[in-house]
Structure 1
Amino acid sequence: MRSPKMPGAKPPATDEFSEIARLFRPLTGGAPGAFDLLDDAAIVPQRPGFDLVVTKDAMVEGVHFPVGERPGLIARKLLRVNLSDLAAKAAEPFGCFLAVAWPPGFGAAEREAFARGLGEDLTAFGVALLGGDTVSTPGPFTASLTALGWAPEGRMVRRAGARAGDVIAVSGTIGDGVLGLAAVNGEIADPSGWLTGRLRVPTPRLDLCEALREHAHAAADVSDGLIADAGHVAEASGCGVSLDLDEMPLSPAAAAWVDGQPNRAAALLRLATGGDDYEVVAAFPGSPPEGFTPIGEVVFGSGVEARVDGHPVNVAERGWRHL
C-alpha cells in the first residue's frame, strides 16, 4: 500500500507510510500474503477446488454519497457494496484491496474515522485488507475497493444462465435505498431511521450464497435498480424478463410511502428503478428457495416488461446510469 506523488504536488501533513502502518496495517488481520503492507504487492494463496472471484466498485463524494457524509459510514458502505457483488455470485469473501484519494477536507480525524469504520466491518465479515494505495487529491473524495472471494470450482452464479420459463425472484425488500436518499435530501420523513439506515449501511446477502449455488440459474445484485439488474440478467442470458411490480416485496416504510402517493404505478416504478438496495435478483427453475419472493418470469425475446394491476407500464429509465 503506497502513495506516489506527482512532481510539484503538495506533500501531506503527515508521513503516509507511518499513517498506513497505524491506520491500515491492523486491518490485514495478520494475513501472511499482505506482508504487513510493507511491499508493493500481495500474494493470494491458491485454494484447491475453488475459483477466485474478483469484483471492484468505486465511490465518489457527491455522486455515490452526499457531501459531508461521515467517513466511517463511507468506508462501511464501500466494503458492503463490493461484498454484495460477491454474494450475488455465491462467493464467500476473504480479502480486499483499497485505494483512497484524500481531499484537503479529510484531515487526520477523518482518515482515522474512515479506517475505524472499515476495520469494524472487515472484522464483522471476516475479510482481511491485503493492500492498496493512498493518494491526495484536490477533490472530491474518491475510494475504490477490490473484493476477493472463493466459490466452489465451476459453481459461481453468473448473470448468464437464465432460461425461458424460469421464475424471477428477489431477496429482501426493494425501494428502501431510493427512499433513504429522498430522506437524506429532506424530501420525505424517516422517523424510524429504517430508510436512511438501508441506504447508508446496506446488508450484503452473503446468507444466500448456498441457496444461490444450489438453485439459481443466474443472479445479480440489485445496485442499479431492480428493473435494470433484472435486465442485466436477461441481456446476459439472451432472453427477456416479465415483472409484476405488484408482487415486489416492500418494507413497511416503503409500503406506507406508496400508499401516500397519488399514482401507485409511478410510485412502484420509482422503487423498482431507484437502486441502492443491494438485494439479489435471481432466476430459478422452479419455486424460489426461502428468502426470495417471486416477482415475474423469464420469457423468450429480449428486454424487460413490467406490469402494475395487470397493465404494462412504460419503463423509460430502467435504473441508475453510470455514464
Structure 2
Amino acid sequence: MSEFSLIREHFLWQPQPESVRVSVGDDAAVLTLPANKELVVSVDTSNAGVHFPLETPPHAIGYKALAVNLSDLAAMGAEPAWFTLALSLPAVDQEWVAEFTRGMRELAEQHGIFLIGGDTTRGALSITIQVMGWIPPGRALLRSGARHGDWVCVSGTLGDAAAGLAIVQQRLVLPTAAAAFCVQRLNYPTPRVALGQCLRGLASACMDISDGLLADLGHILTASGWGRVCSTRRFLFQPHCNHWR
C-alpha cells in the first residue's frame, strides 16, 4: 500500500469541523482560530520499547499516544482543537494501522479534537503527535504561578500505571482483577481535560505528572522560584520561610 493510499484509508477523517479550512491531503493545514483566544501547542513522541511495551495492543498505542498529549493541554487549562500525527512504521500492516487509528479516534471524538495532517515513514515504530487548543487570553495554567501557602493536589490515583508496567514486565504479581485494572491504567490513561478547564482562575499553578510526583513538583517549585524537592528525604524546602516543611 502506498503512503497516499494509507493516508486516505485511515487518516482522512470526516466530517471536518468548521475551524478546519484545509486538512489532510495538502502540503499544510489551514485553520481558523476563534476570536479572542490564545493558541496552545504541545508535541510529544512515543517510541516502542521506551514509552510503551512492544507487546502493547495497537488500539491502546493509538489511544495512549494521543492521551499523553491531551494531558499537556489539560494541564494548561486549554480546550483541545486539532492535532497532527507523524507515524514511523517498520512495515505496513493494515490490521495494525486500522486498530491503531480506531483507538486514537475513539479518544479524539471524546474530546472534540480533529486530525489535520502529518507524515508517515518507514522505520522503527514511533509516534509523534502535536496537539493544538485554545484558551481565553491570559487564562493559561502555568508552572510558574505557585505561591507560599498553596495546597499541593493531584487528580486520580498515583502509581497505577507503574504497577501495570511492572506486571507486564513480570516484576509484580497481583490478583487477577487488580492486575487487569493496573494494566488498563497503563494502556488507557485518562487526560483530565475537563478538570483543567475548571481549574482556570482557581489553581495558581499546574502541570501533568509524567516523571513522578516529586520530580514534577520540583519543576513547579523551580519555575515559581520557591525552592526544590529533596527526593532523598522527601522534604519541601521553601527558602523564603527558612524552614523545612
**TM score, norm. by length of structure 1:** 0.68
- Checking the alignment, whether the CA contact within 8 Å between 1:165 and 1:299 is kept in structure 2 is no
Q: Are residues 1:15 and 2:8 paired?
A: no
The alpha-carbon deviation at position 54 of structure 1 amounts to 0.4
CA shift digits 1:62-98 (9 cap, x unpaired) = 0001112111111100000000011111001111000
Distance 1:71 1:55, change over 3 A: same
1:215 alignment counterpart: 202
Q: 2:35 aligns with which of 39, 48, 51?
A: 48
Q: 1:187 aligns with which of 167, 171, 176?
A: 171
Structure 2: state its 5+ residue gaps.
none
Q: Are residues 1:149 and 2:133 paired?
A: yes
- Checking the alignment, whether the CA contact within 8 Å between 1:87 and 1:205 is kept in structure 2 is yes
The alpha-carbon deviation at position 125 of structure 1 amounts to 1.7
CA shift digits 1:259-318 (9 cap, x unpaired) = xxxxxx99xx8xxxxxxxxxxxxxxxxxxxxxxxxxx9783369xx8x9xxxxxxxxxxx
1:80 alignment counterpart: 67
Identity between Structure 1 and Structure 2 (%): 39
CA shift digits 1:170-198 (9 cap, x unpaired) = 11111112111111112223422111111
- SS in structure 1 at match of 2:22: helix
1:207 corresponds to which letter in structure 2?
A
**TM score, norm. by length of structure 2:** 0.89
Distance 1:297 1:43, change over 3 A: farther
Question: Which portions of structure 1, spanning 4 or more consecutive aligned residues, are displaced by more than 6 angstroms?
Answer: none
Mark the structure with the bigger radius of gyration.
Answer: 1
1:300 corresponds to which letter in structure 2?
P
Distance 1:111 1:210, change over 3 A: closer
Aligned length: 239
1:196 alignment counterpart: 183
- SS in structure 2 at match of 1:146: strand
Distance 1:34 1:102, change over 3 A: farther
1:299 corresponds to which letter in structure 2?
Q
Q: Quick one: distance in 1 between partners of 2:54 and 2:229?
A: 37
Q: Quick one: distance in 2 between partners of 1:49 and 1:36?
A: 23
Q: Are residues 1:94 and 2:33 paired?
A: no
Distance 1:36 1:167, change over 3 A: closer
The alpha-carbon deviation at position 238 of structure 1 amounts to 1.1
The alpha-carbon deviation at position 123 of structure 1 amounts to 1.3
Q: Are residues 1:299 and 2:238 paired?
A: yes
Q: 1:108 aligns with which of 91, 94, 105?
A: 94
CA shift digits 1:196-237 (9 cap, x unpaired) = 111110000112123321211111101111111111111111
The alpha-carbon deviation at position 15 of structure 1 amounts to 1.5
Distance 1:67 1:34, change over 3 A: farther
Q: Are residues 1:119 and 2:105 paired?
A: yes
The alpha-carbon deviation at position 153 of structure 1 amounts to 0.8
2:37 corresponds to which letter in structure 1?
F
- Checking the alignment, whether the CA contact within 8 Å between 1:53 and 1:149 is kept in structure 2 is yes
- Checking the alignment, whether the CA contact within 8 Å between 2:23 and 2:30 is kept in structure 1 is no
Q: Are residues 1:37 and 2:24 paired?
A: yes
Q: Quick one: distance in 2 between partners of 1:178 and 1:299?
A: 29
2:121 alignment counterpart: 135
